[in-house]
Structure 1
Amino acid sequence: MRDVARLAGVATSTVSRALANPGRVNETTRRRILAAAEQLGYVPNAAARNLRVGASNIVMAVLSEPAIANGASQIVPEVLQTVAATLSDSGFNLLIAGRSRSAATETHIPDLAVGGIVRGAILIGAAEPPSFGRRSLAGAGIPVVSVLQDRSAAGIPSVVGNDREAMRDAVLHLIGLGHRSFFYIAGPAGSYHEAERFGGLADALAAAGLSERAVVRHGGGHSFQDGFQSGIRAARAYLARERRPTAAVACWDGAAIAFMSTVRAQGAAVPGDVSVLGFDGVPVGAFCEPPLTTLRQPTAELGAKAAEMLLALLDGDAAAPPLKTTLPNRLLVRGSTAGPRNARA
C-alpha cells in the first residue's frame, strides 16, 4: 500500500480510503490510485483488513440444495446475479453456501457466521436458516434477509413477489377470455409459492362467482426441480379425463412447458383445445411452440432489493427496513392462451 501511495503521490491513508470506501475520495484521486494499484499488481489483503477494522466484508447467500439445478428455471441464478452486483458496488463480496441433506455437513454455515467470517446472510428461496447443535445462523448475531420466500413472521426481513395477487389477475384474464373450467398443476406440498399461487387461483374463481368445482387440482410433487416430470404426469392425467377443462394453470413454468409439449404430441391443440398458463417467466418460454403465457418474476429487482435491505441492516445508522417488501410480477400474454372453442361449465 505504501508503494501504491508513493506512485500515486498520496498518503497511505488515502489509498486505504480509496480502496475500502471509494465515496470518501474524489474521483480524480481515486482513478490515480487505482491506476497505480493496477500498475503494481496490488491486491488488498482481505484477512488483514478484517483484523484491522474488526469487520468482515463478506456476505453469505444460503441456498437450498437443488436451488441451482432448477430445470428450465433460472430464477435463483438471476436473483443471485443482482445480489452479487449490488453488494459489490458497496464493497462486499458474496460467498455462496449450499445446503445438503446431511445436518452434519452443514456445520460450516453457522460456523462462518458465529466465527465472524461473514457479516450478514441472505436466504435464497426455500433455504431454511441452518443450525447445528447450539450454533445457528439465526442466533449468530448477524443480519439475515430472505428473498423469494416470506419469513417475516419469524422476524426475518423478506423480499417477495406478489404471487397471489398476480395469479389472481392472470386467472381473471383467462376467465375474461371465456374459460370456466381449469386444470391446476400443483407445486410441492407445503411450498410457500404453491400456497400463494393456488390461493390466487381460488381468489379469482371466487371473484368471478365460480364454484371451487371449476378447478381440477393435480400433482404436488416433491420439489420444483421435478417440473418436467410433473408436467408430463399432469398431461397424462388431463388427457385421460372424459371432460377436459379448457385452461391449464401450472404453479411454475417447467411443469407448464412439459404439459404443453405432451398434450400437443397427443393431438390436443394449444390454445385451441386447452390454454396453458405458467408462472416464473423463464426465458425459454418465449421460444416454445406456441410461446408460453406466463407471469414473470421481477428477479433483478428482488435480488437488488434484498441486498439493499441487508446493507441497510449492516449500516447501524440507517433506519431498519420493513419486515416484508412485495414487488409486482408481470403477466406476459403469448400464444398459449386464447378463448375456448366451446364454453363449458
Structure 2
Amino acid sequence: MRDVARLAGVATSTVSRALAQPGRVNEATRRRILAAAEQLGYVPNAAARNLRVGTSNIIMAVLPETTITYGTSQIVAEVLQTVAATLSDNGFNLLIAGRSRSRAGEQHIPDLAVSGIVRGAILIGSAELPPGGRRSPAGGGLPVVSVLEDRSAAGIPSVIADDRRAMRGAVLRLIGLGHRSFFYIAGPAGSYHEAERSGGLADALAASGLPERAAVRHGGSHTFQDGFESGVEAARAWLALESRPTAAIACWDDAAIAFLSTVRQQGAAVPGDLSVLGFDGVPVGAFCEPPLTTLRQPTAELGAKAAETLLALLDGGAPAPPLRTTLPNQLLPRASIAAAPKRRGRRTSRPP
C-alpha cells in the first residue's frame, strides 16, 4: 500500500480510504490510486482485512457466458440449488456472478475475488475466472473448485460425472440389442462434455470390434443452447441418408428430443425403425412420445459435493480434498430404444 501511495503521490491512509470507502476520496484522486494499484499489481491482503472487519461468509458461483446470454439450463439450475443449500447449512451465503462479453462488464468478478468480499469460488461448467491482469484471483489466493468440468490437471479440485464411462455402457447396451450402425449428434466442438461423450461412443465401438465408420457423425457447430435446432437439422440429415443407422445418439437431451419428434413427423417409427438415446436426464424427456431413454447427470450430488469440497479447502484443519471426484450417471431406460430392426437402412419416408 505504501508503494501505491508513493506512485500516486498521496498518503497511505488515502489509498486505504480509496479502496475501502471510495466515497470519501475525490474522483480524480481515486482514479490515480486505482491506476497505480493496477500498474504495480497491488492485491489487498484479504486475510488482514478480514481480521479487521470480520471473516466473509460469501461464496461466489461463476456461471459461463452462454448461461447468462441464453438463460440458465436445467442442469446448471439443479447444481446451483444444492450448492446453495449445502453452503447455507454450513453458515455461508451464495453470490452468483456471470461472465460478460466485455472486459468492463465482468471486472466485478476479480474485484470480489481479491478484495476479501468472497471466501472462495465455484466454477460452474465452462465458466472461467477472468484474469484481471496482475490483480488476479489466483494472486489473491482465492480457493476455487470446479463442477461439471474437469480442471484437475490445472490443480483445481473438480467434481464431475462419469460421462465417458456412462456413454460407453449405454452404447454397449445398444450393441447388445443388435445395433451395428449409429448416428451421433455431436455437441459443440471443443467442449468438455462433447469430448467425454463422443469418447465413450468410440470406446464402446472399439470394445465391440466395430470400426469407427460404424458411427456417422453430425453437427458440432452448435452450442448446447441451440439443442432443439441442432436436433431438427440432424433429423433431416438422417432422413436424407440412403442407408440409415438404426440407433441415434445425441450428446445432450434437447437435441435428442427435437430429433425424435422430427423423424416421427416424417413417418419413422421410434423405436421400430430407429432407437434414440439422449444424455443429461432433463425431466421433459419422460414426457416425449415415446419417452426418451437417457443418461441422467447426478446434479444434486454434484452440487453438494462441490460445496463440500470448497468448505474443506476453507477449513485449514481438514484433510485436503481430492483433486478429482467422479460421480456415476444413471441410465434411465425408456421406450425410445429397442432391438435393432431386421432390415437395416430401409427408408421409411421421404426427407422433408
TM-score range, shorter chain: 0.7 to 0.9
Q: Corresponding residue for 2:76?
A: 76
**1:13 is matched with which residue?**
none
Equivalents in 2 of 1:154, 1:280: separation in Å?
26
Give the conservation status (yes or no) of the 8 Å contact 2:67–2:73.
no
Report deviation, 1:138: 3.0
Amino acid aligned to 2:114:
V
Letter of the aligned partner of 2:301 in structure 1?
A: E
Residue 260 of structure 1 contacts residue 276 of structure 1 at CA under 8 Å; is this kept in 2?
yes
Give the 3 Å change call, closer, same or farther, for CA 289–179 of structure 1 in structure 2.
same
- Give the aligned residue type for 1:156: I
- The answer to whether the 8 Å contact 1:50/1:57 transfers is no
Structure 1 residues 188 and 233: CA distance shift in structure 2, 3 A = same
C-alpha distance after superposition, 1:95-138 (max 9, x if no partner): 00011111221110010010111000000001012222222233
TM-superposed CA distance for 1:222, in Å, is 3.5
The runs of 5 or more residues in structure 1 that have no matched partner are 1-48
1:173 corresponds in structure 2 to: 173
User: In the aligned structure 1, how far is the partner of 2:222 from the partner of 2:313?
Assistant: 35
Contact 2:179 2:339 survives alignment (8 Å): yes
- The 1-side partners of 2:300 and 2:199 are apart by 25
Deviation of 1:70 after TM superposition, in Å, equals: 6.5
* CA contact 1:82–1:303 (8 Å) conserved in 2: yes
Kept in 1: contact 2:244–2:344 (CA 8 A): no
Change in 2 beyond 3 A, CA 1:254/1:246: same
Tell me the secondary structure at the aligned position of residue 131 of structure 1: coil
User: Contact 1:278–1:292 at 8 Å: present in 2 too?
Assistant: yes
Percentage identity across paired residues of the two chains: 80
**TM-score by structure 2 length?**
0.81
Tell me the residue number matched to 2:315. Answer: 315
Counterpart of 1:294 in structure 2 is 294
CA distance in 2, matches of 1:335, 1:56: 50
Question: Hey, what's the Cα distance between the residues in 1 that align with 2:69 and 2:200?
Answer: 27
Q: How does 1:50-61 map to 2 (within 5 A)?
A: 54-61=54-61
Return closer, same or farther for 1:301/1:68 CA change in 2, 3 Å cut-off: farther
Call closer, same or farther: CA 1:309–1:140 in 2, change over 3 Å: same
Q: Which runs of 5+ in 2 are unaligned?
A: 1-48, 346-352
Match of 1:278 in 2: 278
Would the alpha carbon gap of residues 193 and 70 (structure 1) be closer, same or farther in structure 2, given more than 3 Å must change?
A: farther
How many angstroms apart in 1 are the aligned matches of 2:238 and 2:71? Answer: 22
Do the aligned partners of residues 71 and 65 (structure 1) sit closer, same or farther apart at CA in structure 2, a change above 3 Å counting? closer
Aligned to 1:204: 204
1:223 offset after TM fit, Å?
A: 1.4
Are 1:251 and 1:278, in contact at CA under 8 Å, matched by a contact in 2?
A: yes
Aligned residue in 1 for 2:27? none
1:184-221 Cα distance to aligned partner (Å, 9 max, x none): 00000000000000000000001111011100000003
Structure 1 vs Structure 2 CA RMSD: 1.7
**1:73 to partner: Cα distance:** 4.7
Q: Distance in 2 between matches of 1:70 and 1:270?
A: 31
Aligned to 2:16: none
Deviations 1:64-105 (A, max 9, x none): 123267689510000000000000000000000011111221
Name 1:144's counterpart in structure 2: 144
What residue is the counterpart of 2:229 in the other structure? Answer: 229
| 1:178 partner SS | coil
Q: 1:226 and 1:51 mapped to 2: Cα distance?
A: 48
Query: 1-side partners of 2:60 and 2:129: how far apart?
Result: 12
| Residue pair 2:163, 2:197 contacting (<8 A) in 1 also | yes
Write the distance in 2 (CA, Å) between the matches of 1:140 and 1:196.
Answer: 32
Contact 1:104/1:132 (<8 A) preserved: no
Distance 1:136 1:256 in 2: 40
1:261 is aligned to 261
Give the paired residue count: 297
- Judge conservation of contact 2:151–2:158 (CA < 8 Å) in 1: yes
2:85 match: 85
Q: Secondary structure at the match of 1:136?
A: coil
After TM superposition, what 4+ stretches of structure 1 lie above 3 angstroms from structure 2? 49-54, 68-73
**SS in structure 2 at match of 1:213:** helix
Letter in 2 for 1:181: S
Corresponding letter in the other structure for 2:195? A
Q: Secondary structure of 2:110's match?
A: helix
